[in-house]
Amino acid sequence: MEKDNNKTKIKNVAYDYGISDFLAQLNKGAFLTTQYAGENNVMTIGWAQIGMIWSKPVMTVLVRKSRYTKGLIDGSKEFTISVPLNCDKQKELAYCGTVSGKDENKFDTQRLKLLESEKINTPCLDMPGLHYECMVLYRTEIKLSDLDEIVNDTWYHDGDTHTIYVAEIVNTRFVNK
Ligand SMILES: Cc1cc2nc3c(=O)[nH]c(=O)nc-3n(C[C@H](O)[C@H](O)[C@H](O)COP(=O)(O)O)c2cc1C
């Protein structure tokens, strides 16, 4: 499907469309949006994988237990990833990567508009780039006793472990302005 609205072109694409652009921007940050029980939130992620597991296209993300985002994903079992392309959102990424949704509504303060998703309830962000609608298939908390010692010392000395979420990518759209 391709539609024109206010000069915005939205195109449904394959889950691996523009994957090298996805990886290049991920290095600088992407937005993870959540929504559950009347609450919504957005945070920055830098760690993610796109691949194929259980014969399904999947997005794997790692979210620390201290994040406000975690409770919302655990409640709704879904999230979206918005990867800004051909636009500069580094200021907003830095902000959403340091301030918590526990303390303020980052959509309002950062003027981040929402774009309704097609297959899930959680919206994407209305900006040029790649947008993934993801439904959680599996989650597991990192077990420190099974983790490489150097990785453990580098990333988890404060005990704030990540939960790994493996989610099916049920829809991918490319937004071009
Ligand atoms: C570039 C960048 C990448 C980040 N990647 C992650 C990540 O992959 N997982 C994570 O748990 N936190 C990550 N963070 C930190 C969270 O975005 C940050 O703690 C945020 O304020 C959490 O928001 P929340 O409490 O509203 O969920 C990253 C921060 C930045 C700046």
CATH number at residue 58: 2.30.110.10
At residue 6 the predicted structure's pLDDT band, cuts being 50, 70 and 90, is: low
Distance CA 143, CA 140 (A): 9
| pLDDT tens string 137-169 | 999 999 999 999 999 999 999 999 999 999 999
pTM confidence score: 0.96
Atom of ligand 1 nearest to the CA of 97: 17
Q: What is the pLDDT of residue 105?
A: 97
Indicate whether residue 43 lines ligand 1 (CB < 6 A): yes
Tokens of 97: 């990567």
Q: Whose CA is nearest to atom 16 of ligand 1?
A: 97
* Tally of domains within the chain: 1
User: C-alpha angle with apex 69: 64 to 70, nearest 5 degrees?
Assistant: 55
Residue 93 CA, ligand 1 centroid: distance in Å: 9
Q: Which amino acid, 131? A: H
Could you give the C-alpha distances from 177 to 4, 5, 20, 23, 25, in angstroms and in order? 10, 10, 20, 21, 18
Q: What is the pLDDT of residue 17?
A: 98
Q: What is the mean pLDDT of the chain?
A: 96
Domain of 114 in residue numbering reads as: 2-176
Q: Which DSSP category does 74 fall into?
A: H
* Contact present, 171 and 121 (Cβ < 8 Å): no
Classify 149 as helix, strand or coil.
Answer: helix
63: CA distance to ligand 1 center in Å? Answer: 8
Q: How far is Cα 116 from Cα 65, in angstroms, rounded to an integer?
A: 27
Q: How far apart are CA 99 and CA 57, in angstroms?
A: 31
Exposure string for 103-133, b = 16+ CB within 10 A, e = fewer: eeebbeebebebbebeebebbbbbbbbbbbb
